[in-house]
Chain A
């Protein structure tokens, strides 16, 4: 397996635009997590899914953020409209049992 795959690796967008981040988890993993990493706040858990079902989205900062997992091999995190304070590295991770496998992250810059 190629591991957790995220796209794009880098995204630069203008304030107000819609941004969609994509994640392909490892096949067979039953949990999928979206994290955001910034210098100020460290690694924050935004939302997680179990067997494609959203379980806890209490970490999603605002209604501008939404996430979906239409099937076991694909998830998206959408920000609409984007703001400069959303600039961060967004990570997707999947787990089977305890060990989390992370993607390489998407570095988002909102100007």
Chain B
């Protein structure tokens, strides 16, 4: 069964706006990761946050983790058309084996 589930399933915004995606999971984790998938391509790792971390930044990306609520959020600031892609969270359920949700499809309109 899938460990993480992203919300919303689809998100459509204008260039320059911020995009926020959420991930909920069910069991304890060692870390949570976010990946991006462009159409027709493989997944690309964006950022990893460990269970003892609450927030992490990488460029225009900000990830938060709330282990008490078993949830994470990915914020993309000042979005660009090139950010159009599907975004997945991956949790490891304590086993270091990444398990993915169904993803959030983000469309950024120029």
**A and B: real partners?**
yes
Q: Say whether A98 contacts B31, CB under 8 Å.
A: yes
Q: Say whether A43 contacts B48, CB under 8 Å.
A: no
Main secondary structure, interface of A, reads strand
Complex Cα distance, B97 from A90, in Å, reads 17
Q: Say whether A102 contacts B88, CB under 8 Å.
A: no
Chain A's interface size range is 20 to 34
Residues of B within 8 A of A43 (CB): 2, 43, 88, 100, 102-103
Chain B's interface size range is 20 to 34
Q: Say whether A45 contacts B96, CB under 8 Å.
A: no
- A33/B97 contact (C-beta < 8 A), A91-B42, A100-B90 known: yes
Tell yes or no: B64 within 8 A of A by CB. no
Distance from A21 Cβ to chain B, minimum over Cβ atoms (Å): 14
Distance from A9 Cβ to chain B, minimum over Cβ atoms (Å): 10
Q: Say whether B42 contacts A105, CB under 8 Å.
A: yes
- Give me 7 A-to-B residue pairs in the complex whose CB atoms sit less than 8 angstroms apart, sorted by A's number: A31-B96, A42-B103, A43-B43, A91-B42, A102-B35, A102-B44, A105-B42
